[in-house]
């Protein structure tokens, strides 16, 4: 197998999106996890305080169910391997275990001029744009970045 890549999903649409990206990377070892947090966010999720979000237990289980149903490799929380690349579908929070990895942020929506309000933006040395219907900044030309990193 090739490089190990961690795909971090979130909502059903985001899970589907990272799955589709992984399908194009057949020479890589692709692992999947629902969106996750650490520290205070992890504690809040365990207390049931984030059920309204993708960190809630119901959304977490839905992500696990999706990845298992599709027969994908599962690594909840991304702790199993030292990944060569991380592909995220949401930049609301950047977990500590992936902060200094190469990261590709894929999001749906149209790109518009750059803003630097994303938590992920300070950890990435790549061109940023913001999206009009998503969580803010995302990487420009994600497919080209995947090709150049691998």
Residue 82, domain member (yes or no)? yes
| pTM: predicted TM-score of the whole model, two decimal places | 0.75
Residue 69, domain member (yes or no)? yes
Residue 115, domain member (yes or no)? no
| pLDDT digit string (tens) for the chain, length 150 residues | 689 999 999 999 999 999 999 999 989 999 999 999 999 999 999 999 999 999 999 999 999 999 999 999 999 999 999 999 999 998 888 999 999 999 999 987 655 555 555 545 444 444 444 343 344 444 433 434 444 344
- Residue whose C-alpha is closest to residue 31's, from 74, 62, 89: 74
Residue 74, domain member (yes or no)? yes
Q: How far apart are CA 15 and CA 12, in angstroms?
A: 5
The domain total for the chain is 1
The per-residue pLDDT for range 34-52, each reduced to its tens digit, is 999 999 999 999 999 999 9
Residue 125, domain member (yes or no)? no
Residues 14/93, Cβ–Cβ less than 8 Å:
no
User: What range defines the domain where residue 102 resides?
Assistant: 4-110+140-149
CATH number of the domain encompassing residue 31: 3.40.50
Residue 126, domain member (yes or no)? no
């Amino acid at each position: 197998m090739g490089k190990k890549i961690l795909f971090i999903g979130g909502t059903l649409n985001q899970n589907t999106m990272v799955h589709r990206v992984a399908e194009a990377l057949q020479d890589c070892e692709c692992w999947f996890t629902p969106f996750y947090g650490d520290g205070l966010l992890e504690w809040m999720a365990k207390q049931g305080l984030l059920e309204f979000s993708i960190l809630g237990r119901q959304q977490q289980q839905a992500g696990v169910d999706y990845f298992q149903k599709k027969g994908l490799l599962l690594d909840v929380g991304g702790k199993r391997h030292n990944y060569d690349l991380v592909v995220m579908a949401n930049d609301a929070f950047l977990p500590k275990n992936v902060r200094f990895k190469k990261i590709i942020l894929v999001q749906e929506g149209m790109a518009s001029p750059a803003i630097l309000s994303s938590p992920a933006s300070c950890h990435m040395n790549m061109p940023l744009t913001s999206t009009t219907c998503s969580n803010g900044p995302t990487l420009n030309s994600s497919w080209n970045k995947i090709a150049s990193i691998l």
